[in-house]
């Protein structure tokens, strides 16, 4: 994985990703405690949204939620996914998109990742 290698000790990590238009975009990660042991995600929710505005913009942004799944709570493993249809409807080649990944429980909200997403202009697949 680019940038943060899916391991977060100092949160939030930052990374830049590329998606291929026509393909599903999926990332899997493992969250860690400061002592480098897996963070137990039992009872937590993972939330991520793609936006077409950077974090400092005051312009209202369109937002597209990722599908987030906790795959192994005890070991802190989860995935975030954008469907190929969502990428086709929402993303264009000439924009940079931003997304944050959050771990939440009750009112507690911890940002795990701040990332950018662009479409890889060199590849296109057709269904």
pTM recorded for the entire structure: 0.81
Reference 45, options 107, 3, 98; nearest CA is: 107
Q: Is residue 101 part of a domain?
A: yes
CATH at 102: 2.60.40.10
pLDDT in tens, 34-79: 898 999 999 999 999 998 876 666 555 678 899 999 999 999 999 9
The region that residue 26 occupies, defined by phi over 0 for left and psi between -120 and 50 for alpha, beta otherwise, is beta
Instruction: Determine how many CB atoms are found less than 10 A away from the CB of residue 7.
Output: 14
Q: Is residue 43 part of a domain?
A: yes
Reference 119, options 80, 99, 91; nearest CA is: 91
Q: Is residue 2 part of a domain?
A: no
Domain that holds residue 107: 7-124
> Do residues 83 and 73 touch, judged by C-beta distance below 8 A?
no
């Amino acid at each position: 994985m680019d940038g943060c290698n899916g391991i977060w000790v100092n949160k939030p990590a930052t990374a830049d990703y590329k998606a291929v238009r026509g393909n599903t975009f999926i990332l899997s990660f493992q969250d860690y405690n400061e002592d480098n042991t897996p963070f137990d995600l039992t009872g937590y929710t993972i939330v991520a949204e793609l936006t077409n505005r950077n974090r400092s913009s005051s312009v209202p942004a369109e937002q597209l939620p990722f599908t987030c799944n906790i795959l192994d709570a005890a070991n802190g493993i989860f995935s975030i996914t954008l469907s190929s249809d969502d990428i086709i409807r929402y993303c264009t080649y000439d924009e940079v998109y931003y997304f944050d990944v959050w771990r939440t429980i009750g009112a507690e909200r911890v940002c795990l990742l701040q990332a950018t997403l662009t479409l890889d202009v060199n590849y296109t697949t057709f269904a």
